[in-house]
Amino acid sequence: MAEFTLELNDDQKQVRDWLHGFAAEVIRPAASEWDEREETPWPVIQEAAKVGIYSLDFYAQQFFDPTGLGIPMAMEELFWGDAGIALSIVGTGLAAVGVLANGTEEQIGTWIPQMYGDADDVKVAAFCSSEPDAGSDVASMRTRAVYDEAKDEWVLNGTKTWATNGGIANVHVVVAVVDPELGSKGHASFIVPPATPGLSQGQKFKKHGIRASHTAEVVLEDVRVPGHCLLGGKEKLDERLARARERAKSGGERVKNAAMATFEASRPAVGAMAVGTARAAYEVALDYAKTRTQFGRPIIDNQGIAFQLADMRTQIDAARLLVWRASWMASAGKPFTAAEGSMSKLYASETAKTVTAQAVQILGGNGFTREYPVERMHRDAAIYTIFEGTSEIQRLVIARTLSGMPIR
């Protein structure tokens, strides 16, 4: 195991600087245009593919960095550039992780390359779990997957919502109910291959922030996928369902499992995105406060402004430390006994909201216009307390983990 240190090693610094360069030179200059267009920034994704940032290889390299800091560092830099564009670049990775976590080697090898395409013909992927009546309450999911044994096919029916890249993806990963009696234990994930009949895009949402990232409903009407599209395979599913039925008979799952390891491991990545947005807004505000003069002196000469900036930076650094701790714990296989992953996502996302609001205030009238990026960053920051589990759900997970009680 890597010795504990908060200092990035030379390789990590090199990757960080390379990503920062891409964020500063390619992402940031395009941010305002794609925010206004509210469309997927295909040319920027293509640029990222050309230099190797939009690829499974890049993602895997960061993921397997033994210190655990590869992913948070990459997320912070890309989202420092712009949250909407960065989500368009990393959204496919979130779907790919669903396959990496649950798929067989054959499934990983078959589907992940099709999620990315190549630099001349880039593709994106979508992870579809949320539904109109199943957001925080994942167990109330209704999309059904029924096995047609005669044809060795699964038939999917239902409506997914809020899917990043939904409807425009080459490959969709869809979570569906295979046994309604078992709540969330009766769910399974399926690959829907490119151009499968019955899958269509529903409403595309016009959003408050991260507008360069495509978010839409995905409608599934008698979507037939081959048996081998069930992630992990049928045998593994049958074993898992049998175990869940046994547990259900003997009184069900216990609350002490509230901090589910997979979510605890993935939530710090979202925390790191929030740190990137917060840092970006703080830097603009610091610069502005040093150059804007009122009453004959720079506004930062007033403690009222300087102390705000001191608090902003302190909170950003604290958020990063929580994110790094949780990421290190995940890579070192440490148990999340205090839901440290949820803690990092909760604190970093709330920090991004506060810090971007303060940045708008420090820029005064200019902060309220689209001439300066903090207005967009403030709108973008609002997503972090909502997706990948809202702040309220993070608090529930933390409180249940700490207390062992079924807190509601």
Ligand X SMILES: Cc1cc2nc3c(=O)[nH]c(=O)nc-3n(C[C@H](O)[C@H](O)[C@H](O)COP(=O)(O)OP(=O)(O)OC[C@H]3O[C@@H](n4cnc5c(N)ncnc54)[C@H](O)[C@@H]3O)c2cc1C
Q: Show the binding pattern over residues 131-150: x = contacts ligand X (CB under 6 A), - = does not.
A: ----xx--------------
Does 226 participate in binding ligand X (rule CB under 6 A)? Answer: no
Helix axes 340-362, 391-403, angle to 10 degrees: 140
Spot the catalytic one: 77, 217, 264, 388.
Answer: 388
- Tokens 């992402």 appear where? 27
- Tokens 């609001």 appear where? 357
Q: Least CB distance from residue 241 to ligand X, whole Å?
A: 22
Among 48-56, 251-259, 333-341, 390-398, the segment contacting ligand X (CB under 6 A): 390-398
What single DSSP character describes residue 3? P
The b/e string for 138-156 (b: 16+ C-beta within 10 A; e otherwise) is: beebebebeeeeeeebbbb
Which residue among 74, 75, 97, 128 contacts ligand X (CB under 6 A)? 128
Nearer to ligand X, 135 or 227 (CB): 135
Number of residues that bind ligand X (CB under 6 A): 19
Q: Least CB distance from residue 408 to ligand X, whole Å?
A: 6
Does 80 participate in binding ligand X (rule CB under 6 A)? Answer: no
Q: Least CB distance from residue 318 to ligand X, whole Å?
A: 23
Q: How far apart are CA 387 and CA 390, in angstroms?
A: 6
Q: Least CB distance from residue 69 to ligand X, whole Å?
A: 25
Restricting to residues 152-191, which ones interact with ligand X according to CB under 6 A?
Answer: 162-164
340 is known as an active-site residue: no
Backbone angles phi, psi at 254, to 5 degrees: -100, 155
**Cβ atoms of residues 272 and 388 within 8 Å:** no
Tokens of 138: 């994942």
Within 223-339, residue ranges assigned H as helices are 234-249, 261-291, 303-331
Could you write out the DSSP letters of every residue in 293-314? EETTEEGGGSHHHHHHHHHHHH
- Tokens 């151009």 appear where? 195
Nearer to ligand X, 34 or 387 (CB): 387
Does 130 participate in binding ligand X (rule CB under 6 A)? Answer: yes
* Enzyme catalytic residues: 388
* Residues near ligand X, by CB under 6 A: 127-130, 135-136, 162-164, 207, 210, 215, 383, 386-387, 390, 392-393, 396
